[in-house]
Every structure is written in structure tokens, then in C-alpha cells.
Structure 1
Amino acid sequence: MPRRSLLAGAMLTLAATASIATAAVDVAGVSFEDSSNVAAQSLTLNGAGVRTRIMFKVYAMGLYLPQRTDTPTAIQNLPGSKRIRIVTLRDLGTDQFIDALIEGLKKNHPPEALASIQPSIDAFRNAMLTLKEAPKGTEVLIDWIPGGGTRLTVGGTRRGDDIPDERFYAALLRIWLGEQPADNDLKKRLLGSAT
């Protein structure tokens, strides 16, 4: 009888460990699964955190990559699909949201680099502005699809055409992972640090 109890206990421990390994990460009440699929490629959650501004929680964000890595340079150079998942934590106007993204681009790129991707910035901005607002709980997916481009999906609906310039997706990543990130704590968390 004791042997069965030990076996049952061991099985329960293994089951609990397995469920922890596949459990979603909770960020400010938003669940981020450990994996996601983009263009038939399985991606792993590299990190997730909250973007705060003047003490207000603005959105929760997760970064999905083909494999975990902890440096911005390695992320930029990693081949394959990528996903940025953002869920708003308060009501936002889309003009407010896109203006913050463009400000992040300006902080992390010299003017000539921005000028070279301006058509992509304009296309992304126009796709976002087809929405008037992003109420609390709006999901924004910004995917890199090899051979396709940057794809924007908001609330489950694809917005605009894919933007083929790979430099644009790399530029977007620098908003959160660049030398002057939108939020230093969020940058650390997206890079996989819990502190």
C-alpha cells in the first residue's frame, strides 16, 4: 500500500510540474500562453510585461520568438516568424497609440534611417487609423511573416496589407528593445528577466 501511495504522489508531482511548465503567464490580468503560432511556425514566449506611463498601466505586451534569447541584437538577427502581442489595459485613441509608437521610432533611429522606412511607417499608421479607438482589452498582434512582411491584426481583424520591408519590423522592435526603450522595466521583461 505505501508503494502505491508513493507512486500516486510521484505521478501527481509530475502532473503538477507539467502543468506549471505549460501554464500561461499572467500580466496585469492578461494571459500570455507559453507558445503561439505564426505562419505555421511555433513560437515561444520570450517575455511579457506592462507598459506604464506616468504611473498608469497602458498595455500588457508579450514577445514571441522561434527560440528564447536575452539580447536585443540576437532578437533582431533571429530568423523566422516573430510576434508582438499587445492588450490594452485602458481605453486608448488609435491616434494616441500610433503617435506613441512613432515617438518610440524617433527615439531609437537617426532621421536618415526613419526616412528610409517612411513608406512602411505611413502604411502602418494608415492601417491603425482605420480604427477610431482601442478600448480596454483590445488585442493588437504585430507579426513578422518571412516572405510576407509585417502583418497587423487588431481585435481578430487583419488591418491593411502586409508591409514587406523587414527593416520596418526590426525598427518596431527597437521601440521596446532599443537604447531608449518606451519602458525600461518592460524591456527587461521582454528579454526574459523577471526583475
Structure 2
Amino acid sequence: MKRAFIAFLLTVASMVTVSAQTTEISDVVLQNSVDEAGTKLQLNGAGVRSKYFLSLYVGSLYLAEKSSDANKVLYSNKMKMIQLDIISSLITAEKMEETVRAGFKNSLGDKLPTLQSEIDSFIAVFGEEIEVGDIFKFVTSGKELKAYKNGKLLTTVEGEEFQKALFGIWLGNKPADKKLKSLMLGK
């Protein structure tokens, strides 16, 4: 009886430990910390991107040091990552490209032409069909941005201004989704 009770306690303790290491949002399990190129990043916040009452993807922000200040995040040269977990079959490569281009326009305003070649290079990330369960990661070290799909490196784009513009799609003054911005900033 005593051994059964100890086994039960160990089982409960291991479940609590596992759940403390992850966060679940809309059936997507996110790691509370990840290692990117030798840097430990913590889940700062996450939420669901919705449009017209439809859930499209889970967007999450990982930072070396947690912050609720969008400008601090955007202008920091410390490693950071945005992860998009696709949860809707309504997202297609064409729609994602269109949405990201609109996001860059909102993020950059009249400065858009100065980064057009970098944007065009980056948009190739959405060249293949997108399916439910696909995971996009945009990781920046302050000097370059690496874009991954399902763990495969698709492109690297140089330049701080491009990185700020990309992260500005979700964290800028005209974010894709104000509620998601707030959730990503842990508010």
C-alpha cells in the first residue's frame, strides 16, 4: 500500500513537472523555454490569431528576458523568436503571403520601398503549401533573421531594420491583431 502511494505521488509529480514545462493554447503545446543557437529563450506570451471569428494560428513570442514593452522588444538586439503554429486549413500560401505583405506595409508605412528586396526574399518562405500543424519560426540575433518551416531553414535575411519590420507585424503600432499583440507581450 505504501509503495502504491509513493508510485502515485511520483506519477503526479512528474505530470506537474511536464505541465510546468509547457503551455497549451488551442490544442497547441508550446515549450515554456527553448534553446536557439545556444541561447535560452523563454515563452513571453502567446495567443490565437483570429479573423472574422475564425482561429488561424497560435502566435508566440520567445525572449531571452521577459518583457511587456513592445518597443523594448522591437529595438532589442538580443535573440528573440516568433513562432506561428498553423491551426486552420483556411490558411494557404497565397493568403499568408498577402497577409504578411500587408503586415509589412502596416509595420513600415512609407518606408516600405527601402526594404522591398528583403521582403521579397523573405516572402519565399510561404512558397510551399501550408497545412494545419505547420510551424513557422522567425529567429533573430539582432544582425540577421532566420526563417524556418517545420524545423527546416528556408531563408536568412540580413539587417536590423528588416527584423524590426517583421516583428512589427505582430508587435508594432499597427499589429495584425491587437489582442494577439497584448497576449504575446504577456499582458
Cα distance between partner residues in 2 of 1:28 and 1:82: 23
Cα distance between partner residues in 2 of 1:23 and 1:126: 33
Cα distance between partner residues in 2 of 1:80 and 1:192: 18
Gaps of at least 5 residues in structure 2 are 1-5
State the percentage of identical aligned residues. 25
Q: Look up the match of 1:109.
A: 108
Count the aligned residue pairs.
Answer: 177
* CA RMSD between the two structures: 2.1
Q: Secondary structure at the match of 2:102?
A: helix
Gaps of at least 5 residues in structure 1 are 1-7
Cα distance between partner residues in 1 of 2:185 and 2:79: 17
CA deviations over 1:77-133 (Å, ceiling 9, x no partner): 32321111111011222121121011111123222x21111111011012321xx31
Alignment-mate amino acid for residue 156 of structure 1 = G
1:44 equivalent to 2:59? Answer no
Work out whether residues 76 and 142 of structure 2, in 8 Å CA contact, stay in contact via their aligned partners in 1.
Answer: no
Q: Secondary structure at the match of 2:56?
A: strand
Cα distance between partner residues in 1 of 2:134 and 2:106: 26
Q: Look up the match of 2:122.
A: 124
CA deviations over 1:123-152 (Å, ceiling 9, x no partner): 1012321xx3111110111111344x1111
Q: Secondary structure at the match of 1:61?
A: strand
CA deviations over 1:161-186 (Å, ceiling 9, x no partner): x1111211111111111122111110
Pairing 1:10-159 to 2, within 5 Å after superposition: 19=17, 22-91=20-89, 92-111=91-110, 113-129=111-127, 132-147=128-143, 149-159=144-154
Alignment-mate amino acid for residue 98 of structure 2 = D
Work out whether residues 140 and 152 of structure 1, in 8 Å CA contact, stay in contact via their aligned partners in 2.
Answer: yes
Q: Secondary structure at the match of 1:137?
A: coil
Work out whether residues 108 and 174 of structure 1, in 8 Å CA contact, stay in contact via their aligned partners in 2.
Answer: yes
User: Given the two structures, how large is their TM-score scaled by the length of structure 2?
Assistant: 0.86
User: Given the two structures, how large is their TM-score scaled by the length of structure 1?
Assistant: 0.83
Alignment-mate amino acid for residue 109 of structure 1 = L
